[in-house]
Structure formats: C-alpha cells, structure tokens
C-alpha cells in the first residue's frame, strides 16, 4: 500500500520562501552569513552598560507543568544571579510550539526577551505559509538540550533488531505498519529517513499522541513505531521492545540499545534539539553575555538532574555552532520533506 500523500497549502510570499532561498542556497561555513547582524564571533563577553536593567522574559511555547517548562524554570532560577535580574517564564502554548517565532519577531531587540525555540519551528515554516521567517527573524543564542527518540516494537514481536524489521519489510512491500505522532513530526521524518534509504514501502499510521500510539503497539495493532521517551514506562514494564535510538550516543537509561548511527546510518541523528533565541537585531555583546550566563547555568547539577528526570541530557552548542546546526538541519529536512511531498510549494 503506498504512503499517504497529503496536500500542503502554498506559502505566501516572504517568510517560507525566503527561508528556502537562503538555507538551500547556502553551503558550509558561509551559512553563518544568514544571520548578518550576528555573523562575527564575539571574542569577549562585554556586558553592555546598564544591561540588563529590568527582569528578562523567556517565552516558553508549551503549557506550564510540562517537562520542558519545568526544566526551564530550574534553568532560569540558576541563571538569574549570573545576570543580576530574574528571568520570568511566559507560557504561550498552542500551534504545536510555533507561537514563539511570531512573539519573538514582535519583541523589542534589547535582549530582555528570549524564547525557547524547538527545531519544529523551522520545520513548520517549511511546511506551511507563515508570516515569519525563523532564519531571518530569530537570532540563536545557545543550544540546550534535545529529546531521545526510539524505534519500538511490541514485546511479542519476532523482530529483535532493526535488521530483522527491514528484512521482513523488504520481503513484504507495503505490509509494514509503522506509527508516529503525526505527519511531518520528528518521529515521522526519522522513520522515513531510514526506510527511504532502503526504498522500502510501508503504511504510515499517524497518532495524535504518545499514549494512543503506545497502546496500539502494546496490543499488537501496530507493528512498529517511533516516539520520544514517553515510551519509557512501556519499555520498563516489558510491554514494548526498544530496537534502536536516534541519538548521537547511547541513552544512559538503555545503554544496551544501539544508536542508528552505530547501525550504519550516519545521518540518522534525530533528537529534536532546542535552544534559546532572541529577536534579530540584539547586539552581539548582549548575545554573548546571555550565552555565557546560560551556559554556566545549564551545567549546574540541579539543572542537569532535572533534565535527567525526563531522560534528557545537555546538548550544548555555542552561538556559532548552534546557528550552523540549525541551518544544516533545515536544509536536510527540506530535502526530505520535498521527497515526501510535504514541502509547501512556492
């Protein structure tokens, strides 16, 4: 059975079109020029005089009480003494975590407003018509963490490795039923990245959430699936088997489970990384001070312990490396979305 071929809405002139033009036309280190106001690395953290002169705001595009919100609250408590001002969390959930982009675009470029920016903000701009461009409207500050994703099968499945699953799918084109948390989600793209390399046909079953997908897997109604660490209780209780993880290194919680990279898929690292960004136009000295303060705070034991509660780890990248990583990911995902006919047309 062929995969669904959903229709996407055409993009308006501006945001998404500029995103594609700049990202796909850039190569190598030249991509740093996509943030012209921030392109030159700052060699010293020179605090602008009088800054910060009021409490900072950190826009969190998720509901209060969730894993990301709770870890960020600890991070903000740790960074406040370093900046000399409190950092207040402002929750703005909705639109799959993408509201942060428009809110940052509209915020003053004075360094007092930051946002937690998941990589899905950039993906959303590739798939939909939006009145903002995350490449030109946002300036990355620091990458903080990411999420562990895994390939799962029911505990009673005959597959004990990725190779077992691929061999079965190769012998039965289109019969493999694999689930994700939605079309265009990170689990969906991670799964497609592997299967497309083998030119294997399968049936994609999107679910609205983790629980629904885990129940389908545990009951055997779904043959395999990719999800984030919401699957942990199901694996720990023996209802599901974890075949591989999509991180750059093995998970400390499941050290016996290989990464896709170890299995020969060098580019198959999907952690849905996230970081902090400010509106474009914030001066380099301010960005450097923010980077240095949050870098110090994120390595504090209290924050690292809070991340570990949710099977997350520090995935630090400095400002320049974070910019390059975002652009590399956007370019890669644009190519994959085009193959899946999920890239919004110009």
pLDDT digits (tens, 9 = 90+) for 41-65: 333 446 677 899 999 999 999 989 8
Q: Is the pLDDT of residue 279 over 90?
A: yes
pLDDT at 46: 60
d(CA 318, CA 148): 21
**For the ranges 21-30, 271-280, 287-296, which has the lowest average pLDDT?**
21-30
Domains recognised in the chain with CATH numbers = 15-36+45-146+273-339 (3.40.190.150), 149-245 (3.40.190.10)
Q: Is the pLDDT of residue 39 over 50?
A: no
Q: What is the dihedral of CA 310, 315, 319, 325, to 10 degrees?
A: -110
The per-residue pLDDT for 108 is: 96
* Contact yes or no for 125/16 (Cβ under 8 A): yes
Instruction: Specify the DSSP element, H or E, that contains 106.
Output: helix 99-106
Helix (H, G, I), strand (E, B) or coil at 44: coil
What is the pLDDT averaged over residues 141-147? 95
What is residue 47's predicted lDDT score, i.e. its pLDDT?
A: 66
Higher pLDDT, residue 148 or 226: 226
Give the pLDDT band of residue 36 (cuts 50, 70, 90).
Answer: very low
Q: What is the pLDDT of residue 177?
A: 96
pLDDT for residue 174 is more than 80:
yes
Mean confidence (pLDDT) of the chain: 86
The pLDDT score that the predictor gives to residue 346 is: 55
Q: Which two tokens stand for residue 238?
A: 């023996």
**What would the pLDDT profile of 72-118 be if each residue is shown by its tens digit?**
999 999 999 999 999 999 999 888 789 999 999 999 999 999 999 99
Share of the chain above pLDDT 70, in %: 86
- pTM passes above 0.85: no
The tokens 């780890």 sit on which residue?
A: 313
């Amino acid at each position: 059975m062929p995969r669904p071929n959903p229709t996407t809405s055409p993009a308006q002139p501006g945001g998404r079109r500029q995103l594609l033009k700049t990202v796909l036309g850039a190569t190598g280190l030249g991509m740093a020029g996509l943030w012209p106001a921030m392109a030159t690395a700052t060699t010293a953290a020179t605090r602008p005089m009088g800054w910060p002169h009021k409490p900072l705001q950190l826009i969190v595009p998720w509901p209060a009480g969730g894993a990301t919100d709770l870890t960020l609250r600890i991070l903000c408590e740790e960074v406040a003494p370093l900046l000399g001002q409190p950092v207040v969390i402002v929750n703005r959930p909705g639109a799959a975590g993408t509201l942060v982009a428009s809110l940052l675009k509209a915020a003053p470029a004075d360094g007092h407003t930051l946002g937690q920016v998941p990589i899905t903000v950039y993906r959303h701009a590739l798939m939909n018509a939006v009145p903002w461009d995350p490449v030109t409207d946002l300036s990355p500050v620091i990458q903080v963490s990411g999420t562990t994703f895994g390939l799962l099968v029911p505990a009673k499945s005959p597959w004990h490795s990725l190779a077992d699953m691929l061999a079965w799918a190769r012998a039965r084109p289109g019969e493999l039923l694999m689930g994700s948390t939605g079309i265009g989600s990170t689990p969906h793209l991670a799964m497609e990245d592997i299967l497309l390399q083998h030119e294997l046909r399968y049936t994609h079953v999107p679910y609205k959430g983790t629980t629904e997908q885990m129940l389908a897997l545990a009951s055997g109604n779904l043959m395999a699936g990719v999800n984030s660490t919401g699957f942990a209780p199901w694996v720990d209780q023996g209802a599901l088997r974890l075949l591989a993880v999509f991180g750059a290194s093995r998970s400390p919680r499941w050290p016996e489970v290989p990464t896709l990279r170890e299995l020969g898929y060098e580019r198959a690292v999907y952690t849905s990384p996230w970081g902090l960004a400010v509106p474009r136009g914030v001066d380099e000295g301010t960005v450097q001070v923010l980077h240095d303060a949050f870098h110090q705070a994120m390595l504090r034991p209290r924050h690292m312990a809070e991340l570990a509660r949710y099977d997350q780890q520090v995935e630090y990248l400095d400002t320049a490396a974070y910019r390059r990583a975002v652009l590399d990911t956007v370019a890669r995902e644009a190519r994959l979305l085009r193959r899946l006919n999920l890239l919004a047309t110009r």
